[in-house]
Structure 1
Amino acid sequence: MANATAPPDPDSGRTIVPPDIATVRATVRRLLAADAEPLAAEEVAEMTARLREDIAGLIPSVEALTRALPKDDIPRACALACIGEAQMRLRLGDGDTEPVRLSVAVRMARTANALADHHQALGRAS
């Protein structure tokens, strides 16, 4: 599935280039697949860091796509709620134990997946 065209960022005059959605989804699948292999601690840390970067890149892109929609648009409201949750997730620490670190990685994966969904849906709508 192709990515939507990146919208211009009206505040900076630049085009926002979100992370590659296919790459984000591949990382997400690695963490969330029902038949996923157990991950080493280093892999969990690496994936969490990558997902943080992906989320940080998707937030402004999804936010820019919402600007083209009417204020009372339901998909816009859902995307903005997802952005709020994503910003909260970025404030999470990495955790002190392996189970907590894995839990943080899974939460990041779910958030990145949701943002990717909104990015694709809003990109088609605009």
Structure 2
Amino acid sequence: MKDLDQAPLDLATMRSAVRRLLAEDAEPPSFDELETLTLQLRGHVMLLIPDVEKAAGRLPEDAVPRACALACIGESRMRLNLEPGHGLPAGIAHAQRLARSVNALCDHHENLGGKPA
């Protein structure tokens, strides 16, 4: 059960940040924009993990969707602990991995009963 003062997740905004880095026609961000995007994506992951974890916890322990969601959470937490390499290309690759985690967590959020974007 969500806290009464917690607003619902804005999956549309989260998916918009993902598209900024993962869309086929995405332009590479500048260094300053990359820093902002990376912080935004990290925040999205941190907001999504507890909701997805709570939703997965309501499923039976042997449920495949639960196992998939928990695996995604584990990988997302690991990505939060990684530091980008040096230079713009390494930073973009790091942000793209975070974007994939956000996208997957949004999918799990929706599949486990959250509202779609």
Same fold by TM-score, threshold 0.5 exceeded?
yes
1:36 to 26, 46, 52: 26
CA distance in 2, matches of 1:60, 1:51: 15
Q: Which residue of 2 aligns with 1:121?
A: 111
CA distance in 2, matches of 1:48, 1:26: 13
Q: What percentage of aligned pairs have identical amino acids?
A: 50
Write the deviation string for residues 14-73 of structure 1: whole angstroms up to 9, x where unpaired.
Answer: 356563100000000010001112211111110010000000010000000012111000
1:58-97 equivalences under 5 Å are 58-97=48-87
TM-score by length of 1: 0.84
CA distance in 2, matches of 1:17, 1:95: 34
Q: Which residue of 2 aligns with 1:51?
A: 41
1:31 to 1:59, Cα distance in 2 relative to 1, 3 A: same
CA distance in 1, matches of 2:25, 2:77: 29
Gaps of 5+ in 2: none
CA distance in 1, matches of 2:8, 2:69: 15
One-letter identity of the residue aligned with 1:116: C
Gaps of 5+ in 1: 1-7
